[in-house]
Amino acid sequence: MRSVSKFSSVPSEQYGSPEMPRDVGSSRPTARGHGTLASRQLQIYAFDPQLGRRRRFRISLEIPHESLQVDQHLGVDVRLRGRLFDVVDYDAAREQYYEVVDLENPSLVAGGGLPPTVDDPKFHQQMVYAVAMKVVSNFERALGRRVQFREPVALIPHAFRGRNAFFDPATNAIYFGYFRADPDDPGGNLPNQWIFTCLSHDIIAHEVTHAIVHNLRPRFREATNKDVYAFHEAIADIVAIFQHFGFPGVLADAVQAGRTDLSRPGPLLELAAQFGHSTGAGRALRSARDRIDEIATYEDTFEPHDRGAVLVRAVFDAFFATYSARVEDLIRIATGGTGLLGEGFLGAELVERITDEAGDTAQRVLDLCIRAFDYLPPLDITFSDYLRALVTADRELNPSDPYDLRANLVDAFLARGIHPKDVFSANEESLLWPGLASPAGDPPEPLAPSVLDRLAAFEVAEWGAAPAGEDPDTSARIKKRLERRHDERDALEREVRAYGQRHHALLGLEPDSTDRPIQVDGLDLVFRVGGDGLPLTEAIAQFVQAGGADSMDPVGGLDVRAGTTVVFSGDGSPRYVVAKPLTGGVDDQGAPTGRLAEIAEFIDQCDQRDPRSAWFGDDEGFALRMQERFDFALVHQMAPVRRPDRSGSVRRGDDRPDEGGADRG
Amino acid sequence: MDEVTVSMYNVGFGDCFLLRIPAVGGERKVLIDCGSIKRGSAGSIDDVVEQIIADVDDGSGPSIDVVVITHRHRDHVSGFASELWRRVAVSEVWLPWTEDPDDPIARDILQTMASFAESLHVDRDAGRFAAMSAAETELVDHVIENTLALSNEAAMSTVHRGFAGGSSGAVRRFLERAPGTLDTADVLPGVKVHVLGPSRDEDVIRDMNPPSGESFLHVADGGGPDLDASDLLPFEPIPAPRPDLLPIGVEERLREIARRSLLMGAVALESAVNNTSLMLVFEVGEAVLLFPGDAQWGTWKVNLDDDVRRDLLARTTFYKVGHHGSHNATPVRFVDDVLNADGRDDVWAAISVTRHGRFTKIPKAELLDELSTRIADPDRLVRSDRPPSPAPPPMSVIPGRSGVIRYDFALST
């Protein structure tokens, strides 16, 4: 009815330009004269608003600079767009959007962004973007290559009401929830106060790490053994907690407060403090160290977060041991050779030097934890695989290992019951991944040099600026360039795939066939500078092969495959082979054997622990139950957080809610 | 030779067992649970209650030495809502420690469960489960019906305050997992009672706490906010018309996750209550009777990992199959490695069950298969909904109005 529509809301085409996607009105040009900055400073809460009431926990984060586009709708800024992330503030609980912050606004660029505050959603968006980019820069630095998403990941800071946040591969978005603090036990917050998961550095870093890990190893979402999801959780926590060590002031405070002992309880080692306290747990959500009377071990844990904590703590055990070795001489120098620190405050110079060593050690361990990804199988990861990848990766880059980081890692993993299988010993040489052994003893065929050259050109283009004369922001040109790159990439992958087909037996794969094609899941070239100062170039190929008809027997909807990662040296020779063959099949009785039997056993363990087992009918729900159980969106939810004893006194001491070291001095 | 008699009442989908134990000074009677959520072939739960009361009356009025309530799910307690229990003299009532009104942790757990069940109820009545499939709705309805404190109130009142008794009424004992045996010299002389659960271990208590309502995703269903204005963020949204900026499928995906999130919450609540289950072993000479309630993995694991308790479980001669034969209440490890480790030919396993709605995995076929490899005599693997005809000795069956109302098993001591 015309008369009605005339007075209804303004039609959007009146404002929007027809070329723009959907009803987004316009994009603000980004070239404003600061496009050549190397980095961007943005203010954040170092941890979260609860700790951030203290001045020293409101910090400025330095992240790589990129030109951001701000999309408008009816004159309002509605979307922030970067190379890797879109920030869209949609709230599904009310089905509305909030205006987004224009981080290219000159006054915000100059002033380091908006100051931290809980009551302005624009600051929330800024913090989500800043922390996400910090995680990216840590990954890029450690991997020696750009993080690439197929599409930018949407960051949605106030996506829903609820005590959760998650990365969802299906929609390529990270959703942050908001909720009310526990009315009876709000742990240092007001009862029923709004708590925002998007204001927790740790939750943002954790979820962004999930997204990047998913990008590096998409098949780690297939829960084929009890370590796979635990590994996802562990890496996400490791990145989040190690990022604390890079915060100015925070680390020095911890060095002074712990009198150089960094393993003391405190915000440095805790994950999502406000989340934990506000939900009545009486402590941070998780921690990099054991609680009193508790040692997390591999055998005793099953739930992904609990089990992931074993890996997190093993890595931090190794970090503490390495850090102690590195600062021992400094402490001796500062104490006239005794190594015994006297009473009172530590001298400022000592704190500064120790802080440097701690920060550097933390960065090295974090780099290693990330770099080890290139030495991981494409699927079916176990903690034992991860230890071998850590050892191999570090040995490649730092053969001399002056502070015994590798030995410390091995010791820490063994101490928690993580025992590498099928290796000769727990010594370094046994833990390195094997090479490609050709049966006749001939040197194995190298990857063609032309493949490496083209890969190198590809990667260099990614790091470098756009070619001169090309306007980097013209979407048509970007699109054309991307298309060219996709074609080039496809051609490269075809050649590498042919290599895998020729050498399938050496890679632990079956012959390529229509049923069981060998595919290339990933192909990367890596530039690094080794500990000896020399450049190190490697190409990493991930081969996967479908399981075939036998493996499709009841596996609860899991995608069961064989997979092998091959690390090629700069000259093309295969250097390491990390194989996950799909051994076994189905025997005469119809029972699975080999790796399939292990998967079946794992599914059975999940069935036993899952209260839903009783209710899965004979329908699709049962057939797909492993998918249902291992969905990033819901896997957090079943982990209980409430404190066991809510009625008694708040436990002090070890699990004391640390409001930022207020006891100091 | 003295024998222990176990009677399994055919309550349908629920549990009700009566033990008759020979003792100096006369036989002792122990009733374990009395509830049903779906009637069986022999009649309603009230018919069963009448039968029990007749069964425990030896001429001087109905009396039971010990009434055990494993946990407060309706399918284990609904029968206690009957007024007939006022006439029954009971010496002791045993309950899990989570029922102790003087225990602050127990109070808190019950309070959390009750308020969560209530909020599910409210959500259902507000139509928030509209998008669920019929099967999902049925599951949520089941949880609400089984858990809501309201519908169990009369039954729980009997359990906590009812029954006839001595001058001070029946004694309530709140039990928790502990080594050794319970002191039962007065009430059950000659019987060793082992309490295997529930534990007060922090991890187990954690499993008894259902997630809070705040854990679940709340999103609107496409028709604008479904929360009260006070529950909306105090931020100003962009005025209409709305932009359309979301990656494809975001809104649908969030709705799907919200729905599954609520469903998981309902299941978590059901499971939390099961985790409070009292798990008992009665040892009378050679007879070892295992009543795990609906104990779940956490309680089982701690006992299977304990050498003493595992040896005890290995000597089981009568196993009340947990949770009506569902997969997650009887660990494979127990059946394969522990149950009847000596290969005796007189070990029993009894499943109290009837087909209930869409819960086709109860009892679970694989579990029945596993059990049949451990129970040497096929006549001793019994289902309450599959009466044998004729009953093979040493079992006997007692007919009710329509079907078998009671199965009796004789266990040698």
Residues 173-192, chain A, touching B (beta carbon < 8 A):
173, 175, 177-180, 182
- Of residues A470 and B38, the one with the higher pLDDT is B38
Indicate the range of A285-299, A645-659, B279-293 predicted with least confidence.
A645-659
Q: Is the pLDDT of residue B368 over 50?
A: yes
Interval A124-150: pLDDT, tens: 999 999 999 999 999 999 998 889 898
Query: Is the ipTM here above 0.90?
Result: no
pLDDT at B407: 96
Q: What is the average per-residue pLDDT within A201-213?
A: 98
Query: What pLDDT is recorded for position A202?
Result: 98
How big, in percent rounded to 5, are the helix, strand and coil portions of chain A? 40, 15, 45
CA nearest to A485, candidates A64, A148, A86, A212: A148
User: Which residue shows structure tokens 């649908």?
Assistant: B252
Q: How many CB atoms lie within 10 A of CB A508?
A: 19
pLDDT (average), residues A261-273: 93
Per DSSP, A617 falls in state -
Percentage of residues of chain A with pLDDT beyond 70 = 85
Please tell me which residue, A471 or B273, carries the higher pLDDT value: B273
Tell me what pLDDT residue B150 has. Answer: 52
For residue B151, what pLDDT is reported?
59
The stretch A65-94 carries a mean pLDDT of: 95
Sign for the pseudo-dihedral over CA of B332, B333, B339, B343: positive
Chain A residues with CB inside 8 Å of B268's CB? 611, 638
pLDDT at B24: 85
Is the Cβ of A15 closer than 8 Å to some Cβ of chain B?
no
Residue-averaged pLDDT of chain A: 85
Q: Of residues A634 and A105, which shows the higher confidence score?
A: A105
Q: Tokens 């303004």 belong to which residue?
A: A10
- Inter-chain CB proximity A613 and B327 less than 8 Å: yes
Mean pLDDT of B123-131: 75
Contact B267 A611 (CB under 8 A): yes
State whether B233 and A194 contact (CB < 8 Å).
yes
Of the candidate ranges B182-191, B236-245, B308-317, the one whose mean pLDDT is the lowest: B236-245
Contact at CB, B104 and A172, closer than 8 angstroms: no
- In this predicted structure, the answer to whether residue A11 has a pLDDT above a threshold of 60 is no
Domain ranges of chain B: 3-105+148-207+272-412
The arithmetic mean of pLDDT across residues A174-186, rounded, is 93
pLDDT at A6: 31
- A117 vs B271: CA distance, rounded Å: 40
**What integer pLDDT is reported at residue A14 of this predicted model?**
32
- The answer to whether B108 faces chain A, any CB pair under 8 Å, is yes
Q: Does residue A223 sit in helix, strand or coil? A: coil
Quick one: B111 exposed, middle or buried, by C-beta within 10 A (0-12, 13-18, 19+)? middle
Per-residue pLDDT of A480-503, as tens digits, reads 777 777 888 889 999 999 999 999
Concatenated DSSP letters for A489-523?
A: HHHHHHHHHHHHHHTTTTTT-PPP-SSS-EEEEEE
Domain chopping of chain A, boundaries: 40-431, 449-595
Residues B365/A616, Cβ–Cβ less than 8 Å = no
Quick one: DSSP state of residue B336?
Answer: I
CA distance A312 to chain B (A): 20
Residues in contact with B383: Cβ distance below 8 Å, sequence separation at least 6, in sequence order:
B325, B350, B351, B353, B363
CB contact under 8 A, A279 and B241: no
Q: Tell me, yes or no, if A125 comes closer than 8 A to chain B by beta carbon.
A: no
CATH architecture of B3-105+148-207+272-412: 4-Layer Sandwich (3.60)
State the pLDDT confidence band at A465, using cuts at 50, 70 and 90.
Answer: very low
Residue A57 has pLDDT above 90, yes or no: yes
Helix, strand or coil, per DSSP, at residue A535? strand
What percentage of residues in chain A have a pLDDT greater than 90?
62
A121 CB near a chain B CB, below 8 Å? yes
Mark yes or no for CB contact B270/A95 under 8 Å. no
- For B83-91, what is the mean pLDDT? 94
Summarize the confidence of residues A92-114 as an average pLDDT: 95
C-alpha distances in Å from residue B49, one per residue of A23, A327, B83: 68, 75, 10
* A 526-545 → B contacts, CB under 8 A: none
Both structure tokens of B181: 């045996």
Instruction: Tell me what percent of the residues of chain B surpass a pLDDT of 70.
Output: 98
The pLDDT tens digits of the residues spanning A277-308 come to: 998 888 999 999 998 777 889 988 888 999 99
Assigned token pair, A79? 């979307």
Q: Could you identify the residue written with the tokens 């100059």?
A: A110
- Note the pLDDT of residue B29: 97
Distance from CA of A449 to the nearest CA of B (A): 40
State pLDDT tens for residues B202-241.
777 877 877 777 777 888 877 777 677 888 899 999 998 8
**Mean pLDDT over residues A565-585, rounded?**
90
Query: How far away is chain B from the Cα of A554, in angstroms, using its nearest Cα?
Result: 13
Across B66-78, average pLDDT: 95
pLDDT band per the 50, 70, 90 thresholds, residue A619: low
Read off the pTM.
Answer: 0.89
Note the pLDDT of residue B149.
58
